[in-house]
Structure 1
Amino acid sequence: MNRTARLYWLVEELRAAAPRPLTVAALAARCEVSTRTVQRDLQTLMETGVPVRTVTGRGGGWSIDPGMTLPPARFTADEAAALTVALAGVGAGAPYAGAARMAAQKIAASITGPASTAARELAARIVTLPSPGDRGVRSAVESALSANTALRLSYLDAGGRASVRVVEPAGLLTAEGRWYLIAWCRTRRAGRGFRLDRIATAQPLAEQAEPRDLAALLRGSAATSAVRPATLDALAPAP
């Protein structure tokens, strides 16, 4: 993430943990940057008037004014359980897995009462087998989707054949626990799906991609019937 996004992220992390302080080392590990970078960013926040402060001594670190914290979220026990299961299903190789982990921390900090108890009890009963996930590939795909830029992929197909493709991302498809990047392939001059765990490398290009309609690229493929998950209806653009 760029510096502006990181500064916002730091504020949200401190808000989620407040009034408990967080160490620079813990913040750096979560954000995947150096401790020096985090220390410099926190100093910048302080100098610009954000109510962050250092807490010295054992158990110390950086904290933010509790007045900046999120209000408790009024989830029912069933809603909290649903969120727990959904977040548990975001594997390391899934797009935005790092952001999902951060979101889970904020949600956990804001849930109170019986819902919090239900979520924590269920979380203690969920396990997963680690799945491989190339952080570099995932980050490149996320950036290309957000900025609408082209990507150069080194890809292995189902038969193990390697190829290099320049693609214009249109969206993401999830099916049977796997994630696919749906894109216009300049090499094939057609829409194609690329399984994320088969992308060996992904290099962002300084080229804007043409706007591509996801449904149009899926038309005529095995995923023609794909629809937006009902759980995302609330996030859909207003008509």
Structure 2
Amino acid sequence: MRRSERLHAISETLRRAGARGISAERLAREFEVSVRTVKRDLDALESSGAAIWSRPGPGGGYGLTNSGSLPPVTLSPAQAVALMAAVSAAPDAPYADRAAAGVRKILDVLDPRTRGQADELADRIWVNARPSSSRVIKSALEEAMAEQRVIRIRYTSRDGATTTRDVEPVLFASTNGKWYLVGWCHLRDAMRWFAISRIERASVTQASCSGHMVDEVGEPPENARPVHGRGE
């Protein structure tokens, strides 16, 4: 089966699965490809505009939302540029690549006049963001968090000690300009903060997380807040 045919077939399978969704493993078996290939296909479908949802953890999976496209969006030029600037200034943020794809989708449905004004305003904002961490490492961390699977990392601490650890990801946190993976470390049998910039290697295992929750991390840094976007 050619990839284009497989993408169409996966889309139809997701649609038939409805609200219950379907796991990447089941899709892989059905189409006789690897789970990694299925996830690349799902990313391709999402980039093409398919409204795919994912539900992490045991019993989770993927599906299509009821509305498969964006309705007309009403944004001011300044609001549109704010989205562009926020994404451009934070290339190290978790899921930054998908955020950029989401912003492009929003810009594509703006009316031409607003889009033109936004493009003109965007030329007046320069961003000199620090180089992003390894895309391979970031992808592994993002996948482990979304799927709630144990991730194996090679980590060098501030004092220069290098260890290999299995970590159950609990949250990503940004503080003092640095991003951290916070998770339950099997080596230390405790919650630990790992600076993403000091993770030298990362791979997602097949082991599911055991259910450690955000409130186990402790008090968040001053002024820290979730990024759900809801008003306080």
- Do both share a fold (TM > 0.5)? yes
Q: Structure 1 pair 3/132, CA: closer, same or farther in 2 (3 Å)?
A: closer
Q: Distance in 2 between matches of 1:72 and 1:6?
A: 28
Where in structure 2 are the equivalents of 1:1-239 lying within 5 Å? 6-7=40-41, 9-11=43-45, 13-14=47-48, 70-91=70-91, 93-124=92-123, 125-219=125-219, 223=221, 226-229=224-227, 232-233=229-230
Deviations 1:36-82 (A, max 9, x none): xxxxxxxxxxxxxxxxxxxxxxxxxxxxxxxx864431112332232
Q: Distance in 1 between matches of 2:209 and 2:40?
A: 26
Q: Percent identity?
A: 27
Q: Secondary structure at the match of 1:233?
A: coil
Q: Distance in 2 between matches of 1:155 and 1:227?
A: 26
**CA-based RMSD:** 2.9
Q: Distance in 2 between matches of 1:7 and 1:166?
A: 28
Q: Distance in 1 between matches of 2:130 and 2:223?
A: 30
Deviations 1:95-116 (A, max 9, x none): 2122122212212211225532
**Structure with the greater alpha carbon radius of gyration:** 1
Q: What is the one-letter code of the residue matched to 2:135? A: R
Runs (4+) off by over 4 Å: 1-16
Q: Distance in 2 between matches of 1:179 and 1:10?
A: 27
User: For the Cα contact (< 8 Å) 1:84–1:119, is it kept in 2?
Assistant: no
User: Could you state the TM-score of these two structures normalised by the residue count of structure 1?
Assistant: 0.64
Q: Structure 1 pair 112/126, CA: closer, same or farther in 2 (3 Å)?
A: farther
User: For the Cα contact (< 8 Å) 1:90–1:100, is it kept in 2?
Assistant: no
Q: Secondary structure at the match of 2:72?
A: coil
User: For the Cα contact (< 8 Å) 2:166–2:185, is it kept in 1?
Assistant: yes
Q: Distance in 2 between matches of 1:151 and 1:69?
A: 33
Aligned residues: 180
Deviation of residue 86 (structure 1)? 1.5
Q: Secondary structure at the match of 2:230?
A: helix
User: Could you state the TM-score of these two structures normalised by the residue count of structure 2?
Assistant: 0.66
User: For the Cα contact (< 8 Å) 2:155–2:162, is it kept in 1?
Assistant: yes
Q: Distance in 1 between matches of 2:178 and 2:109?
A: 30
Q: Secondary structure at the match of 1:74?
A: coil
Structure 2 stretches of 5 or more lacking a match? 1-34, 51-67
Q: Distance in 2 between matches of 1:213 and 1:15?
A: 32
